[in-house]
Amino acid sequence: MSGKKAKHNQTAKVLGKLVTAAVIATLTGAPAELVKVVFGVHSTSDMAMAKPKPPSPPPPPTAPAPEKLNADPSTHWFASWDENTAPGAATDYFITPFLDNGSSANVTTQLSNSATAVPNSPLGVKVLNPITNTTASTVFNAHYPLPSGPKAVSYVFGDFENPSAVSQTTTLVGQVRGSTWSKNAYVGNFNLTPTNSSNFTRGALPFTQANYNSSGVNMANTALYPGSPTFRNKSTNDWANANIRTGLFIAPIGRMTEVQNVLNSSYNGLQTTTVGLTYHKQVPWVVRFNNFGNASLDNDPAPGYQFHADIAHGTADQLPSRGDFSAQILHYRMRGAYSVNLFQDGGVVGYSNADAKQDVRNGWYGLPHTSNIFAQSDDKAATMTLNPQVDGTSSNGGTRAEQTGTIWSGVYSLSLQQMDILASNLDTNGHWIKFGMGDTAYDIFTVKNGSGYTYAVNDSYPMNPTNSRNALIEAGVHKMLQFDLVTTRVYNSSTFTGSFSNKTIWLLNTKYDVFTDNNRNGVGIPEPTSVGMLAAAGTMALVCRRRRQQKA
């Protein structure tokens, strides 16, 4: 009997719903069948009503990819030691406040304010000392703008410079990768690169490729400080050119190139516009001059490190000029750097943060024709050579750039059919460069006649001004050479007569001097000449600590 009663009650419930549905249909004019469906009743045969399932919770948001620092034609972001407070003091520079165990609240505030004021700006931090998991969680799990914005920390610049630097970096990488929101960030440490040797470094490298791999970083923050005691130079009697300034200019380009070659071959470094954990980037620390700890470039008896480049000290024209710094920046970019991290004040008396930042801009994207080539989807480095053919020869030891103070870099686009070459000569004598094929499959010619024809003879040394495969780069000059990819006659005679072949070649269109500020006199120092910026950095002690670290 109890079973029959239950069945009766169930049927009554169904019939009740049917009556209710009919009444609603009558009152509202809605089709009865529609109302039945809404009520979940189809017929008296529906003996039981299934409970509707609760809606599934939305999936957690996916941690964003790191924001790009370099995406032509108009995305160019640089880091700088002094950019710590939102919204940032300079266009093109994103803030990277100092993160330590007492600053997480301020850091999240600054990052949130930056994300609000400059929504297209990446976010980053500098970490000089180990941080706790609580501090890391506070910053790396936060959504910017607070409390639930779409942005994450994209770049983490470690600055551990002590015997425990590798283990401290490893811990920092783990804290970032273990976060829920900033886990895709690029993480690096000062001068931690995947190289085991360098032709330009004095003594042993501070880290090895094994250190780089074990730490888990995916960003090489190469130290490129002209004047550093870690570089060989004429002043340290281990440089093949008698000119101090050639070492200050060529050696950082050499070290940067060595690192990028390894990144390209083993860490997807050629994917310059792709971001992700497996696409490693080089974002070097750069400065115009920094001679801290280098007694060989301290020619002032007063305390501290001061390098006077002038006639009185026998070192006239030996300090890198503003134009030299801009040229270095463009060489770095042409050879694969993703961006740069600028150390403060540039290390020259009277040379400000604003000056240094502008020189970085001038070098990175200040030449419109070159910038247009970079903006093409198929832009590519024209060479990575550190052993160019200069004055008719290249060095068996691979040191021709060092010997002559002369180097060239380039970028080209086959779709645009254009190539720009930056050729720099920091020597005191002019030099002829013969441009090799590099990474491009087409040969390079520097002479043409009115019909756009060239010739392929007279390649032997000594060169002469009519040679069609070489260009003269005068002493102390940075020269831009612009080429077009053309199919034209290449004669076997410099008279443009007789036999010829039709070839597709790079043919020089025009050349001109660039980065012409060549004042190479002044007083070079390690760090700031004023303390106006120190409030943003925190304290004088912070910068003094940085000075001690730079001594390593």
| Mean of pLDDT values over 249-275 | 92
pLDDT band at 444 (very low <50, low <70, confident <90, very high): very high
- For 30, what's the count of Cα atoms within 13 Å in the CB-facing half-sphere? 14
Separation of first and last alpha carbons in the chain: 93
Rank 3-7, 25-29, 65-69, 301-305 by mean pLDDT and report only the highest.
65-69
Torsional class of 80: left (φ above 0), alpha (ψ -120 to 50), beta (otherwise): beta
Instruction: Give 376: exposed, middle or buried? Use CB within 10 Å, 0-12, 13-18, 19+.
Output: middle
Burial 415-451 (b: 16+ CB within 10 A, else e): eeebbbbbbbbbbeeebbbbbbebebebbbbbbbeee
Higher confidence at residue 540 or residue 42?
42
Amino acid in position 535: A
Separation of CA 205 from chain center: 22
Separation of CA 342 from chain center: 11
Rank 4-13, 198-207, 333-342, 439-448 by mean pLDDT and report only the highest.
333-342
Give percent of the chain above pLDDT 70: 84
Which pLDDT does position 169 carry in this prediction? 98
CA 39, CA 283: separation in Å to the nearest integer?
A: 63
pTM for the structure as a whole: 0.86
| Furthest CA-CA distance within the chain | 119
Give the tens place of pLDDT for each residue, 350-369: 999 999 999 999 999 999 99
Which pLDDT does position 536 carry in this prediction? 37
pLDDT band at 396 (very low <50, low <70, confident <90, very high): confident
pLDDT band at 51 (very low <50, low <70, confident <90, very high): low
Least confident window among 100-104, 200-204, 322-326, 530-534: 530-534
| Mean of pLDDT values over 32-58 | 51
pLDDT band at 1 (very low <50, low <70, confident <90, very high): very low
CA 497, CA 502: separation in Å to the nearest integer?
A: 14
| Mean of pLDDT values over 280-292 | 97
Which pLDDT does position 228 carry in this prediction? 96
Give the tens place of pLDDT for each residue, 100-113: 999 999 999 999 99
| Mean of pLDDT values over 482-499 | 95
Mean of per-residue pLDDT scores for the chain: 87
Which pLDDT does position 538 carry in this prediction? 37
Which pLDDT does position 82 carry in this prediction? 95
Which pLDDT does position 344 carry in this prediction? 80
Which pLDDT does position 74 carry in this prediction? 84
Tell me: pLDDT of 36 over 90: no
| Mean of pLDDT values over 224-239 | 96
Query: Can you say whether the dihedral through the CA atoms of 332, 333, 335, 341 is positive or negative?
Result: positive
Q: Which of 74, 113, 73, 80 is nearest to 94 (CA)?
A: 80
Tell me: pLDDT of 4 over 90: no
| Mean of pLDDT values over 182-192 | 98
Tell me: pLDDT of 149 over 80: yes
Separation of CA 422 from chain center: 19
Which pLDDT does position 32 carry in this prediction? 42
* CATH number of this structure's domain 72-291+318-346: 3.20.20
Higher confidence at residue 239 or residue 397?
239
Tell me: pLDDT of 174 over 80: yes
Give the tens place of pLDDT for each residue, 209-223: 999 999 999 999 999
Q: Which of 123, 212, 204 is nearest to 169 (CA)?
A: 212
pLDDT band at 270 (very low <50, low <70, confident <90, very high): confident
Which pLDDT does position 507 carry in this prediction? 97
Which pLDDT does position 133 carry in this prediction? 98
Angstrom distances, CA of residue 206 to CA of 173, 191, 259, 325: 19, 8, 14, 25
The three state secondary structure string of 262-329 is HHHHHCCCCCCCCCCCCCCEECCEECCCCCCCCHHHCCCCCCCCCEEECCCCCCCCCCCCHHHHHHHH
| Mean of pLDDT values over 260-276 | 88
Tell me: pLDDT of 541 over 60: no
Which pLDDT does position 337 carry in this prediction? 97
Which pLDDT does position 461 carry in this prediction? 65
CA 504, CA 485: separation in Å to the nearest integer?
A: 7
Least confident window among 322-336, 433-447, 480-494: 433-447
Tell me: pLDDT of 9 over 50: no
Q: 281-282 and 406-413: which strand pairing?
A: unpaired
Which pLDDT does position 349 carry in this prediction? 95
Which pLDDT does position 233 carry in this prediction? 96
Residue 10 φ/ψ, nearest 5 degrees: -65, -45
Give the tens place of pLDDT for each residue, 75-91: 999 999 999 999 988 88
Tell me: pLDDT of 145 over 90: yes
Least confident window among 19-33, 198-212, 214-228, 274-288: 19-33
